[in-house]
Structure 1
């Protein structure tokens, strides 16, 4: 480019690293303490602006070279920066998934890992994936990779945008980028919030703000006390050759006039509208990048080092957040310890692997990255390989043959594939299989069953309805101990029942309350049996004894009494009670669990309750 010349002295842009440091701090605050810092997600918007600045800088550096050289250098530099650590973190998360996290998380996260490897984590979820999110039991360990997907997808179009803009001069160039910025921002704010959040096209305007900032920075350097400059990327840091004069009081005031409200908003405990904050944050970030050269606050060692480790910290922190939420919920001390662990791991990764590959030859990075990808693929498909082995074991294959018509009834094959000769080893594989695949198990879905109706169920006014959902709120404490009919939640149950009954012609069946299984202990049934623990001892700790199911049963009993003959309870508690010991037992004497680690009935549990439901259906 004619405005850009190369000189020899190189100075690190510490202020930009400081902006990165503030951005990652706000993201960490939002993920670890979302109630206290609900606006911290805006740090990702700052990353997009910084990325636009950096991409424009790299393309400008090689502008005088042939087109293929420009593209080759750009993609080689960006992929070398992103891929090795990104793929390593995917591999480490997959290892943790199979060793630390519950089995119920595996299937969802294997699919998410595949999307992360392909940089499509930002695509909209299917109904089935959204269902998993509603279950809120299997946390997606790759959620945070959506922003990397947006950035890498932008790499595909940024050279075209840059080359068209570079063919223009001065105000025409800024006008071109400004028009694209306006179109993308209109698209962003006219789209649904979820789509706008994840769409690359709806995020282009933020990258363009960074590009406009770079061009203004370059053009201003010749008119505002700068020597001719060129900026380069060095180990993930942004360096330039500009040597600015000492800033005036007015310049300092202007700079902090924009910086101070950004910091206050990012760490404000009150949630504010993203439609207002996002454009403010994006534009203010560009302005600060333009004004903050040699700034002592943003160039402070603490902030710049946070900026240095920001990439490692961003990639490593989310799986730790997920683990903290799953294991410790609202324990602030545990979350603080996990935050410290995230920073410690990020420092170790940055000082070892990240620094090493950034200074290595491209060929070495390519070899390491390829090896890491191979291991990721093997881990992703590990469970599928194991499941294929299960299906080939004699007498363990899940029965899938079509049932036969017998009189007015249809006989169905057993869903669980359980046989009399099964060992504890077989039981362990079955339990893990049921927990891993849960609603994904094809054998649990009879061909022809309708999963989604085009209208609400009441539109069809069915003869019979079954309410099998176990509402946790039903088991919450009564307003007054022992008094049901004046209870607030009971009155809400009655109100909803009265809305439902006119839409049901004959009868409503309601699942009665029973203790929830401790989802973290389902896959320990067989190991505990092998270690010599008695069935009574295992059963005692397998379900949540204080989940208030007795109160739920009191409310249900009162509800059915008020409803009259049109309502009937379905009680599976008697099926779960050991007739000899009188104790609740959520597995059989072979170690086969009646529940998955998602608190659903397993295929074996469905077989347990099948006679009960068959009897109900026979009487209809």
Structure 2
């Protein structure tokens, strides 16, 4: 036993203050990303502080035998970290099972398992990426990646330190510097997903902290004091109470442990050697300006800068009023608990209450209060316990977590029925593990399993496929002779793949599968920046992180295709409510070549005037005019033709529509939309009439209305409850950015009066220049208005155009007005006469219209194409939308023409047969989860339960379109796959989406469940047998 002497020197509270500053930066980044976009740098500070601590602890143990050197280090680290960390995981998983939606469970079970063994920083597998893309969940364990990095570094740092001990003087610093430089080179040379997560790309930050400890001129004196301590009052035994001075240093910086620098062995400088305080204040102020800046700063220079400056702050051991303030020290004390606790709370409010503003500060306060409670109770309790008690506690928590996280898998294994005897007409075991003797309880259990595992249910996965290039699909090799079969579609189609492979493999040489969402992404992203930014927006609205979005896109279109900072800048714009996918309007003289800037501006908006181009680029009007003339450009009128969207514009419409549909599981936010636009109201409104003419006879021409007839501009804003604000502009006034900002200000004021219970406005307006000008965007940001993305040339996605103005135009047709007052009276009477249902209908049509814009994709296969295409997320079937001009006029029907166009692209690549899944009633996901429970309770009949599970209307529109498509465009080469008979219950005279025992045919994300796949299997057995 070695005696240790008590030490009286003052401790380094400023280091605890750095930890407090770092955790506040992280909280700001998560809860208020718009105001603190660089708050993520707090984690980099934690890494530096952690390196300082590790070096200090290793230095104190360097005189011990080798075995004791390692065991002492790991004992200290793990005793401090693991008890609270494992308890946090247990509580988070409990909250997941209790409060979160079932669709979030599987994703978070995977993440919890990785967090439990400290591999949260491991790159995701392709299957995990695919599920994450489909899931609308937020990962409760995202923030544990940094803990994984630090724990992994623990297994490296003792060896780095021991080698360094063999070197003396400058050689030691050269050794550490060389390792740091190599790690930094690896950091900047690696793809962002690697440089962000890899422990080898973060070693340089830990080493900055270690070198900060070594350059301190108190290092040797501390070691000497520790050596003298060993001869005096306190004895080292394997008990925490007797190891007070060794174990009070059990802190980890990255994880925000709570009492790092209350250790009396972290001493300040003697007064005579203090460095001038203004140097420390200078470093501190600059660091705080970088971290707290509201503008996005490039990641690499910001990370390098903060890492080095944090090292300086550690070396500059002089007391200051900022880092030594009680406020920062307090947050440093609770930072470990706060770091662990805050993110699951943030994830829950983002998923459940995304539009209620007061919930964010309330959840932040709740996180702090809960962290204080944990710190003052559980943390303090276990830090006072002996090694034995803490070891037993840690092992128990680990085992309980392992069981609790995997409880569904364990329960499934325990409840697994013996392999059922297959009937003589079956070649394969059932994918749903169903047998006729199962009960309602079994149905409830399996329905829940299918819901949370969804289309990633292991029973639905076929092994043995190999991925094609660019991750655009996979192939399954079967017989050497036979057909080449392709399964094309989105996730709905791929859910069928195992069953189709089982039934058709005897007739196939290759069965290929491709996800059209990924295919379309890869093709469009390489060609069009708007489509690329649309994917940024799509992932942002799903809650995907910047790093994950960057990694996904790079894996599809190439590692060097897009820079990480580009993604981060766009995410920052989205967080600020700016969903405009155009480049920001720049001010001041451009840095790039003027001709290139002018060309880019005109490429973006070819109808811009010279004045508009000059204003956008910050150039003089004469400069722009001169450059345009020198380049040979001349203004010319284009031929007046109906607007035809380009392919990139179509892709963008699809991407934005899908992103809006995927925005949140709860669609109540749609009712909060405020929309508006401008319209010319003529004093004389002509009423054109059709002419009765004989066959082949042309009608007589009508006189074209005078284009200079008197008219007044109407500006109007409304929501699903009625008109909010409208005004007729004075004669001669046009809507520019100044006018529009003033109108927005007035609209918001009126909205607060009419809707005092509402919190935040969700604005939907088009991309007219006044709506997207820099001044307008600043005003919208100032008023804290969220703007929904709107694709260009899309009046069919603007309720004011397709609903309100359409009805208003019908009302105005043939009317004449004497003056503005007469027009104002008529407009007021029209708007007041409309019932609330009229306005609600216009807003509530938006989801159906967003559903129209997922186009099909083609691929080349030689023989047979099994095409199963349904809509993503809500499964609104586009082909079943209402007709444009009735069922007998499909040649003028937008949807039918698109189907026809896609079919013509696909047919040349198919040698034998194209199978297309026909329409059937759209599923309502809300009631699926409770089918078995309601049947078991017996309070509802099967008919009552069934009625709430699907939309009985509109699917016939899709069936009619498919029938005409096959009949007129495809003939015998096409065949429809019909699920009607499989789902039709003759007794109820209705469709039935579950069986008599309560087993559901669909999941809550509207994929077919394993039970549903088995229901339709006979259809594919027949198809494959007939090939």
TM superposition score category, shorter chain reference: 0.7 to 0.9
Answer whether contact 1:137 1:598 (CA < 8 A) is retained: no
Residues 1:220 and 1:429: Cα distance change in structure 2 (over 3 Å): closer
Partner residue, 1:175: 174
Residues 1:365 and 1:141: Cα distance change in structure 2 (over 3 Å): same
Q: How many Å apart are 1:20 and its aligned residue?
A: 1.9
Whole-Å Cα distance in 2 between the matches of residues 541 and 282 of structure 1? 57
Whole-Å Cα distance in 2 between the matches of residues 24 and 312 of structure 1? 10
Q: How many Å apart are 1:54 and its aligned residue?
A: 0.9
Matched, 1:350 2:409: no
Q: How many Å apart are 1:184 and its aligned residue?
A: 0.7
Partner residue, 1:518: 925
Choose which of 401, 414, 420 in structure 2 pairs with 1:389.
414
Partner residue, 1:84: 83
Answer whether contact 1:120 1:149 (CA < 8 A) is retained: yes
Structure 1 residues 343-366: Cα deviation after superposition (integer angstroms, max 9, x where no partner) = 222221111101111232222211
SS at structure 1 position matched to 2:996: coil
Matched, 1:238 2:243: no
Structure-2-length-normalised TM-score = 0.52
Whole-Å Cα distance in 2 between the matches of residues 492 and 178 of structure 1? 62
Q: Which stretch shifts more, 442-451 or 34-43?
A: 442-451
Aligned pairs, how many? 598
Partner residue, 1:593: 1000
Answer whether contact 1:213 1:289 (CA < 8 A) is retained: yes
Higher RCO (C-alpha under 8 Å, 6+ residues apart): 1
Partner residue, 2:333: 308
Whole-Å Cα distance in 1 between the matches of residues 298 and 896 of structure 2? 36
Whole-Å Cα distance in 1 between the matches of residues 57 and 175 of structure 2? 20
Whole-Å Cα distance in 2 between the matches of residues 488 and 7 of structure 1? 84
Whole-Å Cα distance in 2 between the matches of residues 552 and 353 of structure 1? 60
What aligned pairs does 1:303-452 form with structure 2 within 5 A after superposition? Answer: 303-392=328-417, 397=418, 399=420, 411-445=427-461, 452=474
Q: How many Å apart are 1:472 and its aligned residue?
A: 5.0
Q: How many Å apart are 1:293 and its aligned residue?
A: 3.9
Whole-Å Cα distance in 2 between the matches of residues 552 and 114 of structure 1? 44
Whole-Å Cα distance in 1 between the matches of residues 407 and 124 of structure 2? 24
Q: How many Å apart are 1:375 and its aligned residue?
A: 1.7
Answer whether contact 2:874 2:1005 (CA < 8 A) is retained: no
Whole-Å Cα distance in 1 between the matches of residues 352 and 84 of structure 2? 27
Q: How many Å apart are 1:114 and its aligned residue?
A: 3.4
Answer whether contact 1:529 1:535 (CA < 8 A) is retained: yes
SS at structure 2 position matched to 1:509: strand
Structure 1 residues 147-202: Cα deviation after superposition (integer angstroms, max 9, x where no partner) = 21211111112112122223334432222111100001111221221122221111
Whole-Å Cα distance in 2 between the matches of residues 422 and 213 of structure 1? 66
Q: How many Å apart are 1:390 and its aligned residue?
A: 2.0
Residues 1:76 and 1:528: Cα distance change in structure 2 (over 3 Å): same
Residues 1:82 and 1:205: Cα distance change in structure 2 (over 3 Å): same
What aligned pairs does 1:183-332 form with structure 2 within 5 A after superposition? Answer: 183-218=182-217, 233=249, 236-239=259-262, 240-243=266-269, 245=271, 248=276, 250-265=278-293, 268=294, 270=296, 272-291=297-316, 293-332=318-357
Partner residue, 1:464: 865
Residues 1:352 and 1:585: Cα distance change in structure 2 (over 3 Å): farther
Answer whether contact 1:577 1:583 (CA < 8 A) is retained: yes
What aligned pairs does 1:548-567 form with structure 2 within 5 A after superposition? Answer: 564-565=970-971
Q: Which stretch shifts more, 118-127 or 43-52?
A: 118-127
Answer whether contact 2:451 2:1003 (CA < 8 A) is retained: yes
Partner residue, 1:99: 98
Whole-Å Cα distance in 2 between the matches of residues 51 and 461 of structure 1? 59
Structure 1 residues 403-427: Cα deviation after superposition (integer angstroms, max 9, x where no partner) = 87x7xxx754443344444321221
Answer whether contact 2:1001 2:1011 (CA < 8 A) is retained: yes
Residues 1:495 and 1:259: Cα distance change in structure 2 (over 3 Å): farther
Structure 1 residues 93-118: Cα deviation after superposition (integer angstroms, max 9, x where no partner) = 23333333344554554444333232
Whole-Å Cα distance in 1 between the matches of residues 196 and 346 of structure 2? 21
Residues 1:516 and 1:13: Cα distance change in structure 2 (over 3 Å): farther
Answer whether contact 1:52 1:206 (CA < 8 A) is retained: yes
Structure 1 residues 531-557: Cα deviation after superposition (integer angstroms, max 9, x where no partner) = 4234455445556999x9999989989
Whole-Å Cα distance in 2 between the matches of residues 144 and 544 of structure 1? 41
Q: How many Å apart are 1:594 and its aligned residue?
A: 1.2
Partner residue, 1:504: 910
SS at structure 1 position matched to 2:249: strand
Q: Which stretch shifts more, 33-42 or 199-208?
A: 33-42
Residues 1:328 and 1:499: Cα distance change in structure 2 (over 3 Å): farther
Structure 1 residues 245-303: Cα deviation after superposition (integer angstroms, max 9, x where no partner) = 577464255223532332234xx354x44233322222222223333642222233232
Q: Which stretch shifts more, 173-182 or 608-617?
A: 608-617
Structure-1-length-normalised TM-score = 0.82
Matched, 1:609 2:608: no
Matched, 1:529 2:554: no
* TM-align CA RMSD: 4.2
Show structure 1 runs of 5+ residues with no match.
Answer: none
What aligned pairs does 1:1-20 form with structure 2 within 5 A after superposition? Answer: 8-20=7-19
Matched, 1:22 2:31: no
Answer whether contact 2:29 2:36 (CA < 8 A) is retained: yes
Structure 1 residues 200-239: Cα deviation after superposition (integer angstroms, max 9, x where no partner) = 11111110111111222346999xxx99988972663214
Q: How many Å apart are 1:482 and its aligned residue?
A: 6.5
Whole-Å Cα distance in 1 between the matches of residues 324 and 951 of structure 2? 52
Whole-Å Cα distance in 1 between the matches of residues 456 and 876 of structure 2? 29
Whole-Å Cα distance in 2 between the matches of residues 567 and 331 of structure 1? 50
